[in-house]
Every structure is written in C-alpha cells, then in structure tokens.
Chain A
C-alpha cells in the first residue's frame, strides 16, 4: 500500500527537480560560455559553444593594473563575512531578548523593529552617507559592516524560528542548572538556532557580496573597492577598452568565491541538521 503512490510521487519529483535544475544551471553555463568568448563575438549574438578567448580574457582581467581583482575579492570577503557574522549573531541575540524575556518595552520594541523592516530605504542612502562622512567613516569598510548589527529581516526570521523551534522549558532548565543568561544564550540557544543561523548567514553573505549601490557611494579608492564596483567600472570603460569578454570573466571570477562559501555553509541545509536540544 505504501509503495505504489510514493513511486508516482518520486517520478513527478524527479521531473520537476530536473527542470528546475536545468533552469538554475543553465545561466551558469552561459556565463561560463561567455567568458570564453571575445567581446565582438558576445556583442554579435548568442552561442551555446565556447569560444577560444578564455585565456585572453583571464589575462586581461588579472593583468589589468587598474583593476585590483585580488584586493576586490579580499574586500568583498571581509565585508560579506563580517556582515554575515554580525547580522546573525546580533539578530539572534535581539530575537532571544524579545522572545525569552518579559519587560515593559517588549511589545513596542518588537513593533518598532517590524516598522523599520517595512520602511523603504532608497531615500535614506544620501542621509546615511552624510552621517558616516561626519563620523569620518567615508572611504572605509566600517559603514558597510557595522550597520548589519541592526538587521530587522534577520531578526524577524530568528524570532519566527524561535517560535517554532525553541521551547522556553529549555531555557528554564538551563537556569536551573545554574547557567547565567549569556551562557544560556551562547551554549544552549545558539546551537539550537544553527540551521537558522546558517541559512541567514548565507543570505547575508550573498546579499552583501553582490551589493553595489551603497558601497559605490562609500568607497573611493580603488584598493578599497568591492567586486561589484570593479565590474561596474569595467562596464563603463571607454570605448577602445570596453570588452564584454572581460566583463563576463570578472563576473565569473566574482562568483567563484561565493560558490565556495555557499557550498561550505550549505552542508547545514543539505544534511538536515537534527536539532540537538529539543527532545521531549
């Protein structure tokens, strides 16, 4: 009785998954194809077959003294890793503060964070630049990293996750065992939140890795710029140097580190981490 319906389900699942996988990987395929083609070939139209300009494009990117690819990767890594760490840790902390404790301003604080979450931020970009200029942080990486401490969307996810997966009994138990509140958070709550933290860490990392608008406003020196700014610079290159092959090559180079980080962190998603703490 069990076997037959699940067989049909399996077939449907395979079909859907294969279509989706094709759609997802197809874009990587053309990205790779395009970074092996010359500028003119790319401009001329589309191709499913690789060209012969891979080495040329690669050398053009790596040997362009005005295009600090390595420091770009380093800056992007620093910003993205710090943002991911700060956003997840402090959002979990904030969510825990609001979830596990009762205090007078609890509800107003929660509603306040939710309101920040829904506020469109486009307009405040210029005000943000003014603020950090006054603080002397312009052209440094700090203003790209430190604001991550207040990440309302990550907070809200952590809070929702706690609602479904963090029983308050557990905290009580820890208190009985004599843990102080910080210890309880770091030793008991954080491990339970691992899957949620891994997920949000990936999201935060990717989002910051691909961020262009604010970093372009904040960073001025070439040596401090992140990868998306370098890509934008290549795309506004003057006409004698404008080279789509080079652009695609840099896009591809920019994707490699993030894929590595993603695959490393994705173990938490893939393996299905069973929750250590919750056993009733």
Chain B
C-alpha cells in the first residue's frame, strides 16, 4: 500500500517537473518564432478547419514548403503563413476571433490578424464592421472577381454595397430525390418529369400526397425546406439594428411544415440528427431532400452508401438524381476576408486573386476536390464537358446548376442570420412536435432572440 502511495506521489512530482521543463521549452519556441518573424513577413490566417489551408497548400503557386505539423506554410519570398485553427464548438472560433480583432490595434505586427475566414450565416457580422477591408482597397481584387457569381459578393457586402470578401466556391441548392421511388410513384425517374412534379410549392404538395398514398415520406424532416424559403425573403431580418422583421416566407415555411407534419408527409427529423442521416440510406422511405452542392459529397453519398460499396444492389448508390425544385436557393460557403490593420495587403490581394479567380486553379479545385467553384466560365466549361456523376446515376448536375447559380441572390444576408435561423428552427420544432402552440412558439422565439441579441427591441411578424 505504502509503495503505491509513494509511487503516485512521485508520479505527481515527476509530472510537475516535466511541466516545469516543458513550460520552459514552450517559452523558448516562442522566442524562436519571434526571431523568425524578423527575418521575413508573417501572415496570420484564422480559420476553424483546414479546408482552405489544404487548398492553399495544394494550389497556391508561391508555396515553398509546408511545416510537418501543418501549422505554418513558407512561401517563396520567405513569408511564413501562420495558420490559426480554432475549433467551432461552443462558438469558440468567433469568441477568439472577436477578441483578436478588438485587440488588433494594440497587437504587434507579427501577431495581428491578417486574414480570416467566415461562413455565410455570420459573414455580415464582420463585413458590416470596421474590422474587414473593402476588396476595392486590395490591388486588383475587385476587377478580378467579374467572373464570380453575384450572390457570393452580396453575402459579404456591407450596408453601402462595398464587397469585403471573396470565396472560391458557390453553393447553389437543388433537390435530390430517389430514382426508384420516382419511378414507382411518378412513373419516371427522369429529372425533367420529376422537376415538373416539383415545379412550385403547390405541385410539391400534390406530389407529397401521392408519396404518402404510396407509403412514402416526401421529406425527412422540418428544417429541410427552411433554406429554400428563407433565401427568397424580401428583406434582411434586421435593417435598423433594433427591429427584427420576420418575412412572410418564413411563416409560409412554418405553415407548410406544420401541414406536412400533421398529414404525415415527413418523418419528423431534425437537421443533422442520426435519424435524418439514416433517412438518406437505401432502406429509407423518404423521397427527396433539398440539398446544396456540398451536401452531395458531404452527407448524401456517405449516407446512401455507408460501406462505400458503390454497388447499387447493396446501397442507394446510383439511385439518386437531382432537379432544381420549386425555387432557387443556396446554402453555406466559406469566404476569405482581409482584416483591417494588416500590414500584408499586397500578399492578401494576390492570395485572393489566385485562389478565388484564377481559372486554372479553380478548374483544378473543381475536378480534384469536387467543389462547385465560384467561376461562371469554369462551371459552364464543366457543364459542357462533364461525363456525369456515377452517384447520381450518370447525371450531369453541373449543367443543371450552371444557370441556377447565376440567378441566385442573397442580398438579404444580415449579421443576425446565424442566431435567427437557429432560434427559429428550434422554436418552431416545438410547434411541429405539438409541444407548443404557434403563439407559444413565437413567444419562445422572441425570448431566445432577445437573450442573444439584447439590441433587438421588437420582433414583427407578418400580417
């Protein structure tokens, strides 16, 4: 007994000593990094995962070498790109980024934020602030973006219409459906026939009734149709900084989803839940899922074919096809922004131009990484030459999306989207589930919005 006790105490002591040593070691590397910084420039890029980092390391022409642990990338001119990757969980990325941006002025040159990445739902929080640079002030960037889809610029514009970020990808939405169920219920799995059956929300409901009669669900859950409705809102959620206006579209989504739920047109799942994922598998009874381009690779393929067999007999591989559905919409995406106060504006401009407008690079990203890249001409080339996607039963979805993407608009982006969308879906779920009536759900929504956005004084509902 005594021995173990001693062993434990000495273990603790040893641990304390290691700590002492490694803490000193830590200090040393700090100094080392600072010394390196004096030799060349340091470019700090903030992001929440390594999506952009991988593309940068693979395709940016000036890359000389990548550190073994991936934490830095050295460029040909000696500049060190320092990747600051903060996980998203618990809003950690935005929390730390905000602190860094608010302390930007007092930070020394090599620890300033130079570039940071944002997502569509909260992009305006940053582009409406003084913390991001107008791309017109970055040499050559604005001119280079003429081939990009308009909506990708609208998302990152400020109130005056200045574009403050760029993206290498676009994320048009579509409706993915099961070919086998379409054949059985609609008589054909041809995308045009199916599109005709889903051409507007009335036809969509008729088809849903047919699916129900045949023993299928039209949709998996509540949130699937949120984005198609929300994208077509007439105005941003918040315009004056204190009034939240709920668009009629949102209430249409609520009414439709409640109706579908009561009639049994959906399987009552929530986005990203295990049941939602399972609803995209071979044995599922769900006919269609509104999805956007990245979802095909990200979720649909894996969920349809969990064992990676690529065998139509064992999975839903090849049993999916896509059509545009009732409305045009989009979802997600990642934007690059230049932080105000950076001392590396020229380098940032070059990175933005190469990574988001260079056709050769974008073509490579599209063919090698599968991104729907942000270039009308690259996509229309692909649309003309693409041989068809095996997973989609040989369909050329680029051809379908090329026009749709050009028609997209997201002028309604606001700094409040992330919170409003999240709270709206959460509050209305209670209504759909029958745990609250509509008024209670609305009241709960108002409560949660005022908790997270204290500046919102009133919430206006349509009618």
Contacts and interface: CB of A to CB of B under 8 A. Distances in A.
Contact of A68 (B7, B23, B69): B69
A242 B298 CA distance: 8
B71 A44 contact: no
B369 A43 contact: no
A172 to B, nearest CB: 25
A250 interface: no
B314 interface: no
A40 B304 CA distance: 9
A145 interface: yes
Contact of B12 (A39, A84, A268): A84
Interface stretch (A113-121, A157-165, A220-228): A220-228
Contacts of A229: 87
A82 B23 CA distance: 13
Interface string A61-77: 00001101000001001
A74 to B, nearest CB: 7
Nearest to B27: A140
A209 to B, nearest CB: 13
B84 interface: yes
Interface stretch (A93-101, A174-182, A231-239): A231-239
A235 B48 CA distance: 11
Interface band, chain A: 35 or more
Contacts of B12: 81-82, 84-85
Given A40-B302, A43-B302, A44-B277, A78 B19 contact: yes
A264 interface: yes
A237 B50 contact: yes
A268 B5 CA distance: 9
B26 interface: yes
Given A85-B16, A222-B69, A238-B51, A43 B277 contact: yes
Nearest to A80: B15
A251 B277 CA distance: 22
Contacts of A129: 99
Nearest to B18: A78
Interface band, chain B: 35 or more
A212 B89 CA distance: 10
State the majority secondary structure of interface residues on B.
helix
Nearest to B16: A82
Given A43-B306, A44-B281, A82-B12, A239 B70 contact: no
Contact of B15 (A38, A77, A212): A77
Interface string B80-101: 0000111111101101100100
Given A43-B277, A140-B26, A217-B95, A78 B49 contact: no
Contacts of B307: 38, 40-41
Contacts of B5: 194, 268
B8 A265 contact: yes
B19 A237 contact: no
Interface string B46-84: 001111000000000000000011110000000000001
Interface string A38-56: 1111011110000000000
Given A45-B278, A78-B18, A216-B87, A237 B26 contact: no
A142 interface: yes
State the majority secondary structure of interface residues on A.
helix
Contact of B68 (A43, A65, A265): A65
B39 interface: no
Contacts of B298: 239-240, 242
Contact of B85 (A74, A141, A217, A233): A233
A218 B369 CA distance: 34
B439 interface: no
Interface in B312-353: none
B111 to A, nearest CB: 10
B70 A66 contact: yes
A235 B16 contact: no
B68 A141 contact: no
Nearest to A88: B12
A145 to B, nearest CB: 7
Given A40-B305, A77-B15, 15 more contacts: A44-B281, A46-B274, A66-B69, A85-B9, A141-B19, A216-B92, A222-B71, A223-B69, A236-B88, A237-B49, A240-B51, A240-B369, A241-B50, A267-B1, A268-B5
19 contacts: A38-B306, A40-B308, A41-B307, A43-B274, A43-B303, A44-B278, A44-B303, A65-B68, A65-B70, A66-B69, A74-B22, A78-B19, A85-B15, A140-B23, A217-B95, A236-B87, A238-B51, A239-B294, A268-B5
Interface of B: 1, 4-5, 7-9, 11-13, 15-16, 18-19, 22-23, 26, 29, 48-51, 68-71, 84-90, 92-93, 95-96, 99, 274, 277-278, 281, 294, 297-299, 302-303, 305-308, 369-370
Shortest 4 CB-CB contacts between residues of A and residues of B: A238-B51, A81-B15, A239-B298, A40-B306
